[in-house]
Structure 1
């Protein structure tokens, strides 16, 4: 047996024994193994060599059938490897779907996905076990005839299992197997098992990139690797494989990006939240939504969302194909936005009338019985903080800087006595937030300092959910709908952040408005100075007049009555 490496990968060569030259000819048999790590290629060659020696014992075998059988066996071994690789991604995706459904209260549907994840895990374990059996066989075949005889039954079992996996190889029962005679091959160069070639399937290449990214973000304590953006990347990658297909990376063309974008233009938004789409593949979801009358059809993804997904696929592609020859350049391809996509929505602040209506309702006895709900609009309006930042506030986050009280979002969360990284959206979100005097006058700061419940969270009610920010978002959305001040995607809780940003910008300028709200500076020059607001800057933000035409008297009067 010989094994050598060329540009396209390893090639296995098997000599023809003198005793059967009349049946198979003198020239050796060659099989291209393709791009494999050196160790894996040698194991593959040993198994093929054992199969070749067994096939040559058959008096009815001819050279053409022998070569075809060896190539078919090699293809089955390659398919075994290909099937094993993406199972980890599919298991992770199923578990993520289950978690999302559980957070929405759909326990029955979540069970379906957990059952699916369990089945996939069993399949992965089965294939892993099968690959370990192949390791045993390759080890025995590389030794002597005694070792080979001891492993003959295992070899026959492997052959039968490969056939059950869809293989075309039918090897006759061996009456006697000669020991494999190997000729030492040239030492192969060391190669990382994560090495990607043009023939590597995209699922495998992308999985390497995503796993490496998660490992890089993992803090070693389980924090940092499960951010929403990482989950979004996983979902985008899964969608691309489902729509375009999982092929060797040499298969893909820039036009496949257009195919992906065109399909996304018909995908309904928040599809996992609609019962009619439960358990359907992405293509089935698209078809089902298309069949619904236009007036009842679920709104499709917007052009801006599709652009984000395309950008994410380009990022994964560029990292997965770095250094690989003869693959398409997707990064320079400009995708045409599909006409079927929904128009991007420009969010803006809420009208004054809507905010005043909201503030009046917030102080009613019915709502104030749920302080975790009642205070959120006021805090969002007067601080400009994101809802996800507000629900994670702890009473210990209210600190004094040179006598000035602020919310300090630079501090870690303290949960069960342990420090946990605060979940913030961007680097610029790590900041101090000025506390306007209106928050004192309305009674919120006094309320917040008294909270000593679940881990000191000011809004502990939401922390019983898997995703506290999502639970708060749903409650705020339902409240706005009930007050008739909600407009899908346009007039939502996040709109208060637009109101706040405009208020700060008018009275304190762009720079202070950006730093108060945690937005990135618009120029290099604007990035100079201290990251956190200085005392003089805090004073300036605290001294600005109340937002024009807004009525805070319901909260002020409520506090006066309480005193």
Structure 2
């Protein structure tokens, strides 16, 4: 099992448990089928541990035998046993590898189960009916205190209109919100940045997750660029400075805890069975994008997946830039967001100060307890 876990980690870039979804297993199966049968000997023969390079070698060299369907199923079966243990230990809500079937090189999931994974229009309406969406802010006490945070407003909107994973969005720096020479705003998902806390301050699911995604006109209208400027003026470097980074799961951990458990579960009363999470925004986004008849390679780029199965796609074809992708993104329409008011940036800065005061209070209590 240790060997199987390491294979999954090597091939998929060591994703966090909470990020392993149906499409993760799909991508894992596709990449396994592209690899040489004997991975150990191939690594020695070609003197490389780079999975992408081994895939390219196997594709280029007709003499290299690739993993067969039975072998791929065996690997997925072992992975399913590992994830099932995670479910029993309450580390995972469900096992996304339990129903794996390989047909036509794709991951088949029963349609009803697949549909339950995306948010319904009713659920989106419930989410975006909260007061901080309809007013662009939330209530403050006479002393200026609030428990509301800016990521309550921006993270669901970014998840819906960009399809970004929660950790990808939560870790964004202000320099990652960019405007092209033509004036198009976009998110740059990357691992770079002079303002990073340390080398592990950013993480992406796989190398293919490095990409740009244009900001929908709706996000611009609601004031995201203006909020970025307000954050810079206040001396911040991150889009969500109120989020505390977890040493293992990054900035997405506190955001996931708020959205999945406290908001969806306690506030909206949506059953916590693992089928509706922040990741459901991603499914909703990709479903809406696919229904525009977008080419598969463009879909893969926006999703942060491998850009096709051939070397022509993965090595030579270049990603589209933000200006080229903008019509695709702006073609999305979610009427459930029509009643949202523009974000009040000054109140967002005030809420961040409240978060900082709260963190300072927690640190002081912790220091006092340690001293005792």
Query: Which bracket does the TM-score occupy, shorter chain normalised?
Result: 0.5 to 0.7
Instruction: Indicate the residue corresponding to 1:302 in structure 2.
Output: 95
Tell me if structure 2 keeps the 8 A contact 1:405–1:435. yes
1:456 and 2:225 are equivalent in the alignment: no
Cα displacement (A) at 1:454: 8.5
1:516 and 2:297 are equivalent in the alignment: no
1:269 and 2:53 are equivalent in the alignment: no
**Alpha-carbon spacing, 1:401–1:532, altered in 2? closer, same or farther (3 Å):** farther
Deviations along 1:347-393, one digit per CA (max 9) or x if unpaired, are 53201111121112142625983112222111100111111100011
Instruction: Indicate the residue corresponding to 1:480 in structure 2.
Output: 264
Secondary structure of the residue aligned to 1:381 is helix
Instruction: Indicate the residue corresponding to 1:433 in structure 2.
Output: 213
Instruction: Indicate the residue corresponding to 1:540 in structure 2.
Output: 327
Secondary structure of the residue aligned to 2:128 is helix
Q: Which has the larger radius of gyration?
A: 1
Tell me if structure 1 keeps the 8 A contact 2:230–2:346. no
Alpha-carbon distance in 1 for matches of 2:80, 2:154: 43
1:391 and 2:209 are equivalent in the alignment: no
Tell me if structure 2 keeps the 8 A contact 1:443–1:555. no
> Which of 243, 249, 252 does residue 469 from structure 1 map onto?
252
Alpha-carbon distance in 2 for matches of 1:449, 1:434: 18
Tell me if structure 2 keeps the 8 A contact 1:501–1:513. yes
Secondary structure of the residue aligned to 1:396 is helix
Tell me if structure 2 keeps the 8 A contact 1:454–1:460. no
Tell me if structure 1 keeps the 8 A contact 2:15–2:205. no
Unaligned 5+ runs, structure 1:
1-201, 218-224, 233-253, 274-297, 309-343
Secondary structure of the residue aligned to 2:257 is helix
Alpha-carbon distance in 2 for matches of 1:434, 1:271: 39
Cα displacement (A) at 1:447: 1.6
Cα displacement (A) at 1:495: 0.6
Aligned ranges 1:244-263 → 2 under 5 Å? none
Deviations along 1:34-54, one digit per CA (max 9) or x if unpaired, are xxxxxxxxxxxxxxxxxxxxx
Alpha-carbon distance in 2 for matches of 1:521, 1:542: 18
Instruction: Indicate the residue corresponding to 2:149 in structure 1.
Output: 370
Secondary structure of the residue aligned to 2:292 is helix
Instruction: Indicate the residue corresponding to 1:400 in structure 2.
Output: 179
Alpha-carbon distance in 2 for matches of 1:349, 1:266: 23
Cα displacement (A) at 1:483: 0.9
**Alpha-carbon spacing, 1:396–1:490, altered in 2? closer, same or farther (3 Å):** same
Instruction: Indicate the residue corresponding to 2:274 in structure 1.
Output: 489
Alpha-carbon distance in 1 for matches of 2:330, 2:99: 42
Tell me if structure 2 keeps the 8 A contact 1:349–1:498. yes
Deviations along 1:454-475, one digit per CA (max 9) or x if unpaired, are 8611112223433321221111
Tell me if structure 2 keeps the 8 A contact 1:265–1:306. no
Instruction: Indicate the residue corresponding to 1:339 in structure 2.
Output: none
Instruction: Indicate the residue corresponding to 2:57 in structure 1.
Output: none
Instruction: Indicate the residue corresponding to 2:337 in structure 1.
Output: 551
Identify which of structures 1 and 2 has the higher relative contact order when contacts are C-alpha pairs closer than 8 Å and 6+ apart.
Answer: 2
Give the TM-score taking structure 2 as reference length.
0.57
Aligned ranges 1:147-546 → 2 under 5 Å? 228=16, 267=85, 269=87, 271=89, 302=95, 304=97, 346=114, 348-361=117-130, 362-363=132-133, 365-366=138-139, 369-403=148-182, 404-410=184-190, 412-415=192-195, 422-452=202-232, 456-466=237-247, 467=249, 468-477=251-260, 478-481=262-265, 482-507=267-292, 509-511=294-296, 512-524=298-310, 526-527=313-314, 530-534=317-321, 536-546=323-333
C-alpha RMSD of matched pairs (Å):
4.6
**Alpha-carbon spacing, 1:461–1:454, altered in 2? closer, same or farther (3 Å):** farther
Alpha-carbon distance in 2 for matches of 1:458, 1:516: 21
Alpha-carbon distance in 2 for matches of 1:519, 1:350: 21
**Alpha-carbon spacing, 1:269–1:441, altered in 2? closer, same or farther (3 Å):** same
User: What is the count of residue pairs matched by the alignment?
Assistant: 265
Secondary structure of the residue aligned to 2:294 is helix
Alpha-carbon distance in 2 for matches of 1:392, 1:305: 31
Instruction: Indicate the residue corresponding to 1:161 in structure 2.
Output: none
Give the TM-score taking structure 1 as reference length.
0.39
**Alpha-carbon spacing, 1:415–1:540, altered in 2? closer, same or farther (3 Å):** same
Alpha-carbon distance in 2 for matches of 1:561, 1:528: 45
Instruction: Indicate the residue corresponding to 2:55 in structure 1.
Output: none
